[in-house]
Amino acid sequence: MSAKHERILGIHVALIGTQVFCWSGFAFELDRAVSGNTLSWAYVFEWPIFSGYAIYMWRRLLREEIGKNDPSPRDPNPAPADLSLDRYNEYLREVHDREGGRGGPIETPFHQ
């Protein structure tokens, strides 16, 4: 069995273990809540949330693992550079050079 298949199997086993643990906790707390322990009602609702989060993480980890070795297609025509961003960065470089990197007040046409 390859390492990738072993990791995928480990993800599945972790999900099964987590589900058994969460639903056992749910059953235990439900029994306590029905017996009169009012604090256990909070846990009765927490355990299914934990279970749902475990399923969410299982799906996410599985998708990452399956897609890990698949090379993503590269865009042969990357988006053109943002010219306004380039002009703004050039302006910042000029201001920095003018001020000598001191970080002092910058004189602009708006603040004289």
Question: Where do the domains of the chain lie?
Answer: 3-68
Q: For the segment 88-106, what is each residue's pLDDT rounded down to a tens digit?
A: 888 888 888 887 666 555 5
Q: What is the pLDDT of residue 101?
A: 60
Q: For the segment 10-44, what is each residue's pLDDT rounded down to a tens digit?
A: 999 999 999 999 999 999 999 999 999 999 999 99
Euclidean distance between CA atoms 43 and 40, whole angstroms: 5
66 Rama class: left (phi>0) / alpha (psi -120 to 50) / beta: alpha
Q: For the segment 49-67, what is each residue's pLDDT rounded down to a tens digit?
A: 999 999 999 999 999 988 8
Give the confidence band of 112 by pLDDT, cuts at 50, 70, 90.
very low
